[in-house]
Amino acid sequence: MKKAFEYFIERAIFISGAATIIFVVLIFIFLLKEGLALFASESIRSFLFGRNWYPISDPPQFGILPLILGSLWVTVGAVVIAVPLGLAAAIYVAEVAPSWLRGILKFAIELLAAIPSIVLGFIGVVFMSPVLKYIFNLPSGLTALAGSIMLAFMALPTIVSIIEDALVAVPKSYKEGSLALGATRWQTIYRVMLPAAASGILAAVMLGIGRVIGETMAVLMVTGNAAILPASILQPVRTLTATIAAEMGEAVAGSSHYYSLFAIGIILFIISFIINLTADMLLHRK
Amino acid sequence: MLKNIILTSMILFLGLVIVGCGGGGRAVQIKGSDTMVNLGQAWVEEFMKENPEIPIAVTGGGSGTGIAALLSGTTDIAQASRNIEPKEVELANKKGIHPKEFHVANDGITVVVHPNNTINKLTIKQLSDIYTGQIKNWKELGGPDKKIVALSRERNSGTHVFFLEHVVKLGDKKNKNEFAPGILMMPSSQAIIEEVSANPSALGYVGLGYCTKMQKILAVAKNERSPYVIPSVSTVTRGTYPISRSLLFYTNGEPGEKVKSFIDFVLSPEGQKIVLKMDFVPIK
């Protein structure tokens, strides 16, 4: 009786575990099936490197270079903002803050992760974009920078908690040894703790990027969605994700526009896959 | 095989959703044009006061979304702010669906700018030049030396498609004009309204019902020789305002009893009074 129960539980857990893998594979097969259909009428080259995104024109043009660059600008901007901030915050939480404050800070950081992206997008439209327009004297504040700032907020919790974990995981003897040799607290953090936690920090950055590149709603609301080849972060951009979100509703099922949106999905899938794989390898490198 | 599994699970899931929401009878589904969501909602509210036994649900998503839902059989009425395209009819017929059109209201596409903007009127040609990126500065139109921030709806919007065909392409389907890549694509009419109210160099277009006192409505002329007309209920009804359009319902063939009683209500004087109240334009 007990044995049968044990067996049943084991099987149930196995099925749950296998289910995630099956779902990922099914999603990928579905994406491939719908996305690759585009390349019956369109070359991969003109898809990846075409400069014009006019999916509903006659004849349509499916160049996603502006969209790739748009995603890139927004992501790079977000990383530049979020990584130094996140690193500093993590060092403070892990090494400097008194223990009563540490609890509050960790809770607040988790709370930041709980804000729905659409709320951040709304704040971006109503508050951030007019401020940016005023500061940089722009024609409009709906720019890649507005998206970067919003996404930096979204990536911060991920980055802070993983770096903090990495710092806490550094063996205590390293720190004690350094302090015993007469190094100051800052020297210890800078010269000993950070290098020791380097792979965790890099993983945090990668996972932060993963969070940013897949984000859709906030970006759709604040970046202006103009499919231009952006020359600066102060220009409007159209990202890969926003394009899918904005156009999927209109695309006639079975048209090349519809397939092209799935093809963009494949590109996004590949990008996140590479990012997550890198992060995973960094985290488990010993 | 795979297809069957997916199909079955989808049907099961849909079944659950319907059982979950519907209670007894299945709700009549209305889906489509974002321009018409609020209007549809107002009709339904009024209609359900008198016919509480017919539950109706209204959702948006864009005209294309509505027509796609009609084609896949997930909606009873598709709301559309543009005519169904030949390609879509062809696809529908292939699936054994025969879209039937009902003209339920009219709308004027209103061109709006910030209240401080000194420009009061534009021709369709000028609008086309702005949206194709040939006119880039308000100075070229006699305004201040400021870059024009031209705002458009996203491609999932019937308003976008209508504006593209009737303004950007100057009403000529063969015309090769396109929205310039630098045009900002906004995810909703509300987003356009917000940006225009806040940005003195912005220019946008929305349905008549969306305008408030925070934007200035421009008069539009067909060409330099014709009169400049401000969009309003009377100018749209008389057809003097050059960029007005029909708001439509599509059903699959002759509508069933419940759907028909709703459409009859929409077309009745009472239903058309609601059109007026929602700042759209009645058909008569």
- Per-residue pLDDT of chain A (286 residues), as tens digits, is 778 899 999 999 999 999 999 999 999 999 999 999 999 888 999 999 999 999 888 788 999 999 999 999 999 999 999 999 999 999 999 989 999 999 999 999 989 888 888 899 889 988 898 899 999 989 888 999 999 999 999 999 999 999 999 999 999 999 999 999 999 999 999 999 999 999 899 999 998 998 899 888 899 999 999 999 988 999 999 999 999 998 887 677 778 899 999 999 999 999 989 998 988 888 776 5
B68–A252 C-beta distance less than 8 A? yes
All domains of chain B in start order, with CATH: 8-106+247-277 (3.40.190.10), 108-238 (3.40.190.10)
- Please give the pLDDT value at position A286: 53
Chain B residues in contact with A126 by the CB 8 A cut-off are 194
A219: nearest CA in chain B? B187
| Cis check: omega of the bond before A59, within 30 degrees of 0 | yes
Best residue in A250, A258, A264 for a mutation probing chain B (most B CBs within 10 Å): A250
Of the candidates A66, A142, A225, the beta carbon closest to that of B154 is on A225
Identify the closest residue of chain A to B174 by CA–CA distance: A58
pLDDT computed for residue B9 by the predictor: 52
Cα atoms found within 13 Å of the Cα of residue A154, Cβ hemisphere only: 30
Tell me the C-alpha distance between A243 and A246, whole Å: 5
Q: Nearest Cβ partner of A228 from B65, B149, B182?
A: B182
Contact map slice: A 89-118 vs B, CB within 8 A: none
The CA distances from residue A45 to A31, A36, A226, A228, B47, in Å, are 19, 13, 22, 18, 54
Whether chain B has a CB inside 8 Å of the CB on A231: the answer is no
Maximum C-alpha span of chain B? 66
Within chain B, where are the H helices? 2-22, 37-50, 63-71, 86-94, 124-131, 158-163, 189-198, 233-238, 257-267, 269-277
Contacts of A61 in chain B (CB under 8 A): none
Mean pLDDT by 10 residues, chain B (284 residues): 49 46 66 88 92 89 86 92 88 91 92 94 95 94 92 86 91 86 89 91 90 91 92 88 92 92 94 88 84
Unique residue bearing structure tokens 């794989």: A277
Q: How far is B201 from chain A (nearest CA, A)?
A: 7
Cβ within 8 Å, pair A249-B72: no
Closest CA–CA distance from residue B50 to any residue of chain A (Å): 33
Contacts of B94 (CB under 8 A, 6+ apart): none
The predicted pLDDT at position A34 comes to: 92
Contact A263, A60 (CB under 8 A): no
- Measure the CA–CA gap between A42 and A23, rounded to whole angstroms: 29
Residue whose tokens read 């067909």: B222
Determine the 3-state secondary structure of B217 from DSSP: strand
Task: Kindly identify which residue of chain B lies nearest to residue A129, measuring between CA atoms.
Answer: B195
Name chain A contacts of B191, Cβ cutoff 8 Å: 125, 221
**CA gap B222, A84 in Å, rounded:** 55
- CB contact under 8 Å between A52 and B181, yes or no, is yes
User: What residue type is assigned to position B194 of the chain?
Assistant: E
Q: CB distance from A59 to chain B under 8 Å?
A: no
Smallest CA–CA separation between A48 and chain B, in Å? 17
CB atoms A224 and B198 under 8 Å:
no
Contact A252 B91 (CB under 8 A): yes
Q: A-chain residues within 8 Å CB-CB of B59? A: none
Domains of chain A: 68-237+276-283 (1.10.3720.10)
> In this complex, is the C-beta atom of A62 within 8 Å of any C-beta atom belonging to chain B?
no
Residues of chain B in contact with residue A246, where contact means CB-CB under 8 angstroms, are: 154-156, 185, 187
Q: How far apart are CA B60 and CA B56, in angstroms?
A: 14
How many C-beta atoms surround the C-beta of residue A272 within 10 A? 15
Contacts of residue B67, defined as CB under 8 A and 6 or more positions apart, other chains included, come to B32, B78, B80, B84, B88, B99, B250
Which of B61, B87, B199 is facing A252, going by the closest CB pair?
B87
Length of chain B: 284
A253–B156 C-beta distance less than 8 A: no
Residue A283: predicted pLDDT: 78
A125: chain B residues, CB-CB within 8 Å: 191, 194-195
Residues in a beta bridge with B245: B107
CB contact, 8 Å: A244 with chain B? no
What's the Cα-to-Cα distance from B104 to each of A130, B12, B97, rounded to whole Å?
Answer: 39, 35, 21
* pLDDT for the residue numbered A250: 67
Count Cβ–Cβ pairs < 8 Å, chain A vs chain B: 89
Find chain B residues with C-beta within 8 A of A29's C-beta: 2
Q: What is the pLDDT of residue B147?
A: 92
Nearest CA in chain A to B137: A139
| Chain B nearest CA to A110, separation (Å) | 29
- Closest CA of chain A from B138, distance in Å: 12
A220 touches chain B (CB under 8 A): yes
Do the Cβ atoms of B155 and A247 come within 8 Å? yes
Pick from A140, A229, A249: CB nearest B199: A140
Q: Could you tell me the two tokens for A225?
A: 């969605």
Residue B102: what pLDDT? 94
Q: Tell me, what DSSP letter sits at residue B45? A: H
Element (H, E) at B109: strand B99-113
